[in-house]
Structure 1
C-alpha cells in the first residue's frame, strides 16, 4: 500500500534555539551522530579541530562522505577515519556520492576504515536533470543498480542504506512511491533505510508512522527540522531540531521507543555549523 499523507503531533510550534550545548548533567551519554554537511565550512578550515569540538559537544558518532564535496584539499577517507577516532568519536555512516561514483573502490575504502553502514545519498534519476523529479520508468530502470550495490556491500561486510528525500514518499505514476517500490523490490539484508525524518515530513508523511512501518530496516536516521518561512530553496527550510515545525520535544522520546538506530543531527546549509551542532546536541540531550 502506498504511503499516504498523514499528520502526527499537530501544531508543533517553533522552538527557540538553546544557547548552551553542554551535555545535560545527570543523563547518560546516549549515542548521537553528527553529519558532516552540518559543519562543512568548519571542516574545510580545520577538520581535526572541528571533530574535537563535536566530541566536546557530546557527539559519539561522525558520519562523512567518502568522496570529496569539492571543497579543495579534502582528507582521504583513511585520514578522516583516523581523525574521527583520534577525537574520541566512532566512524559513523559513510556515504556514496549520488552520481559518478566508483562504487567498488568506495566499498573497499569503507570496509578498510572499519565503517559499518554505508549510505546512498539519493537515487540518481531524481537528481540527474531536475531535482526531485523522475518518471517511474527511469526509477525502475535504475533499481537493478541499487540491488546489485546492496549485494556488493553485504559481501564486503557492510550494511547498505538508502537515504530518503521528500520525493521518495510522493507517489509516481501508478500510485506507488519510490520508497514503496524499494521496499517491495529489495531484501532487507541487502538494502536498509537511512530515514530522514524531516524529508518524510516535508513530503507529507508522518515520520513516526514511517519509522514504525520500517521497523528494524532502519539502519540510521537523520534528525533535522523544517521551517518553511526560511529562504527560497527546499534545503533552506532545513533547520536544527527544535527550531522548526515538527515538535521534536514530543518526537524524540517516541523515536527512542521505536528504534535503537543512531540519529545524526543534520542541517544542510547552516550559517554557523558548530552553532547548529551545539544547539542540536543540547536539544537532543534535554528531550530524548
Structure 2
C-alpha cells in the first residue's frame, strides 16, 4: 500500500531530525494533472557505482550484462582502474554509452586539474559531468552558509569551463544539503541553487536522498523549473517500527510514487532517469544482487505508466 505524502515526509523528517536537518515543508505540493506518460527507454541509465564490485571482478562481462538487460547508457563513477580510452573501448564493445559521469571538482579549486577531467569526459563521450557529493565537514553536516557560498562559486567556475568544453555540468544531492544553515530556515541546497548560475550548473536530483532530507521532489521541481535534467531513481523503504530508519530499496519496491514525480518531467527539464542503489554489493547484499537491482530498476521504469 503506498503511503501518503504526509506520512512519508513525516518519516523522513523523523530521520532528518536525528541529524538536525530541515523540517518538513510547510505547504503540501500537488502534482499537476497530465496525460498518461512513460519513461523513454533510451533515456534510462544506471549509475555504475551500483555495480562497483561486479565491475572490479569483470568490467567487460558486467557491461555486457547491462546491455542484455536493455540499457543503452550508463553513468560512470570513475574508470575502474582503466584510462578513459580503455574504459571507452569497454563501453563500445558492450554497445553502451557513458552519457554521464560523476567527477568531483577540485577542492581547493584548480582550473588545470578540472580541465584534465573535462578532457577525460570528452574521451569517454560524456554529455553530462556531475559533482557527486558535498555537505559533510570534519564535525558532521556543514552548517556554515559561508562554506556553501564559497562552494557554489567553485561550482560556477567548473560549470563555465564544462560548458566551453561542450558538457553540461550538474550537482548531485544527498540529504546533508538540506540541513538548515546558521540557525535560519535556509538550507545548504537553497544556497547552492540560488548562488549557482543555471547556465552553468544543472541539478541531478537523487529522489531517495531528497526524501531522506525531508524534501518532496515535486516541490524541488516547482522551485527549480527547467533545471533538473537528471534524476537518480532509487526507492525508500520506511521501517514503520522505527521511523528513523529509511534504508534503500530497489526502484518500485518501496514507497516513493515515481509516477507522481515524472508527470512533471517537462517542467523539470528531465532528460535522464538513472537507476542506482548505494548499498548494492555491501554485505549482507552480494555483488550479484547489484545486477538484480539494475534489472529491477530498468524493468520498473520501462513498464511505468503515469
Q: TM-score with structure 1 length normalisation?
A: 0.80
Offset of 1:104 from its aligned partner?
A: 2.5
Q: Are the equivalent residues in 2 in contact too, given 1:198–1:207 (CA < 8 A)?
A: no
Tell me, in whole angstroms, the C-alpha distance in 2 between the residues paired with 1:223 and 1:152.
28
Q: Are the equivalent residues in 1 in contact too, given 2:84–2:123 (CA < 8 A)?
A: no
Counterpart position of 1:263: 273
Matched, 1:76 2:87: no
Counterpart position of 2:145: 136
Counterpart position of 2:218: 208
Q: TM-score with structure 2 length normalisation?
A: 0.75
Residue 220 (structure 1) aligned to one of 211, 230, 235: 230
Tell me, in whole angstroms, the C-alpha distance in 2 between the residues paired with 1:198 and 1:7.
18
CA RMSD after TM alignment: 3.0
Aligned length: 261
Offset of 1:142 from its aligned partner?
A: 2.6
* Distance change in 2, residues 1:237/1:88 (3 Å): same
Deviation string 1:223-279 (CA, Å, 9 cap, x unpaired) is 10112439x9x998122111222133x436525454441110000012210011111
- Once the two structures are superposed, the pairs formed by residues 1-40 of structure 1 within 5 Å of their partners are 5=25, 29-40=41-52
Counterpart position of 1:19: none
Give unmatched runs, 5+ long, in structure 2.
1-21, 31-38
Offset of 1:78 from its aligned partner?
A: 2.1
Structure 1 range deviating more: 265-274 or 236-245:
236-245
Offset of 1:178 from its aligned partner?
A: 1.8
SS in 2 for 1:33: strand
Tell me, in whole angstroms, the C-alpha distance in 1 between the residues paired with 2:264 and 2:49.
23
Offset of 1:186 from its aligned partner?
A: 1.8
Counterpart position of 1:276: 293
Counterpart position of 2:99: 92
Tell me, in whole angstroms, the C-alpha distance in 1 between the residues paired with 2:210 and 2:291.
25
Q: Are the equivalent residues in 2 in contact too, given 1:65–1:97 (CA < 8 A)?
A: no
Counterpart position of 1:287: 304
